Amino acid sequence: MTGTERIARWRPGDQILWRYRGHAPDLDGCSVHICRPVTVVQDTADLLAVWMAPGTECVKPVLVDGTPVHREPLATRYTAPRTLTRDRWFGSGVLKLARPGDPWSVWLFWETGWRFKSWYVNLEEPRTRWAGGVDSEDHFLDISVYPDRSWLWRDEDEFAEAQRVGLMDAEKAARVRAAGRAAVASIRAWETPFSAGWEHWRPDPSWPVPKLPADWARTPSARLAS
């Protein structure tokens, strides 16, 4: 992108797709393995914030017999045959925050009654955006952050297993670890978005739950870095 080109920004209330490409070969002929319709909260040069409402219909991978992936033993979790299915997002909604270029996004979770639970740092490829949403690739390793500012690593076993079965080479794993250390430094310094008060945010009650479009797996004709 040249200095004269401008990214078309979405407006609050716009509905877009938040998607993740798969690490393994295409499933059901599709390179996108996770697709979540979301509503735009804010889209600026500094931050993309989106809301995934409770009950949103999403696309996710499952084992070919319908078993949820997380229930498969770790030793075969990434080698057992998979397929794609549609399902509803359960529980409370999720607010997702992503700064351009960051190799992670930060998700906010609430309990019933809007009691704030935690932030979740999802380590991932910096997002690319297209007319209908943003695409990324999940990097397995994550971090939970709590209101008392304590934090802990998540899914280190899955991160190690992904390397063992060849879904991530040593060079990429080192980059992910470095990204995780950078995220931890931001947590320890209590930088934005942790200090920005997003836990007090609430969605516009007039927003409808976005629908999963029939062409959710479409390949964008052009992409821009987020």
Dihedral sign of CA atoms 167, 169, 175, 180 in order: positive
- Which residues have C-beta within 8 Å of that of residue 114, sequence separation ≥ 6? 202
* 58: its two tokens: 């999403």
C-alpha 153/C-alpha 145 separation (Å) is 9
Q: What does the DSSP assignment read for 176-217?
A: HHHHHHHHHHHHHTT-TTTTTTGGG----TTPPPPP--TTTT
Which pLDDT does position 225 carry in this prediction? 61
pLDDT tens figures, 58-77: 999 999 999 999 999 999 99
Is the pLDDT confidence value at 1 over 60?
no
Query: Per the structure block, which two tokens stand in for 119?
Result: 């932030």
The verdict on pTM exceeding 0.85 is yes
CATH number of 15-207: 2.40.380.10
User: Is the pLDDT at 127 greater than 90, yes or no?
Assistant: yes
82 — pLDDT class (breaks 50, 70, 90):
very high
The token pair at 184 is 């931890």
Q: Which of 15, 11, 36, 13 is nearest to 216 (CA)?
A: 36
pLDDT tens for 4-38 read 346 789 999 999 999 999 987 788 889 999 999 99
